[in-house]
Amino acid sequence: MTDYAHPEVLIDTQWLAEHLNDSNLRIVEVDMSPKPYENARIPGAVFWNTLTDLLQPNLRMNLDVTAIEQLLSRSGITHETTVIAYGSYPGTGGFIFWLLQLFGHRNVRVLNGGHQKWMSENRPVIAELSTFAPTQYKAKSPNANLRVSHEEVQKAIGHPEQILLDVRTIQEYRGEQFLMKPPEGEERAGHIPGSIHLEHLLTLNSDGTFKSFDELQELYHRQGITPDKEVLPYCAIGARAGYIWFVLKYLLGYPKVRNYDGSWNEWSRLPNVAIEK
């Protein structure tokens, strides 16, 4: 993993296996339900519910400082704690990396291969989630340099130095799906005009590990997504886009990347914005 721009933010399954009992390490299972990994938790994992802990009822990211402080405190996390997250969708670790960086928590690492690789190597799992003594975590206000607003996205359309990057499935990009299902009623599906489509899963090998630096560089350069441009990824609710923010900034070293965390959930509901199919 040494050929990436910032290899220090990655760990492998062997490292994690050797550090499961570290008191300053917190493994977080992130999902919409605890069911996907029932009886197959990485030892010591706590649970964050995507729908209730990370999102508001309208599926917008919950970026309230008090909410993130309560979540980290409940999980027994301090500023010295190293956080490693996994979930049932590829990219969970990179998304949580973005989210915690947003609030100033620097000690975050991404498990290369995630839970998928952990299981394929027959590493230890347990049935129960863990709990820890709560802390009194104090977070910083969200770092505006890691986000882009819908007003800025509108200005970026057609701008030669900015790239709008749609990382959803091709069905979402074409307007066949809205937030992972066919559009209903007044829901508007499609993509932001001029955006380039490159699905987030293309960054991964079949075993869930990241493709090499050279492979990732080729993947993005082939689409004209180069480090001299500012890249603004988006998806449905901002999670997959947060993951691609991690890939571009920390694996490839792109200097100008901001996550449009409002993503399609916000854009499609705005009045008087253009949508393409």
> How many Cα neighbours within 13 Å face the side chain of 251?
27
Tokens at 272, concatenated: 């008087």
Burial class (CB in 10 A: 0-12, 13-18, 19+), 124: exposed
Q: Which one is catalytic: 9, 99, 110, 235? A: 235
Tokens at 79, concatenated: 């500023």
Determine whether 235 is an active site residue: yes
Backbone dihedral angles phi then psi of residue 31, each to the nearest 5 degrees: -165, 170
3-state secondary structure (DSSP) of residue 128:
coil
Residues in the chain: 277
Tokens at 198, concatenated: 């490159």
> What is the rounded distance in angstroms from the CA atom of residue 149 to the CA atom of residue 274?
16
Please give the positions annotated as active site. 235
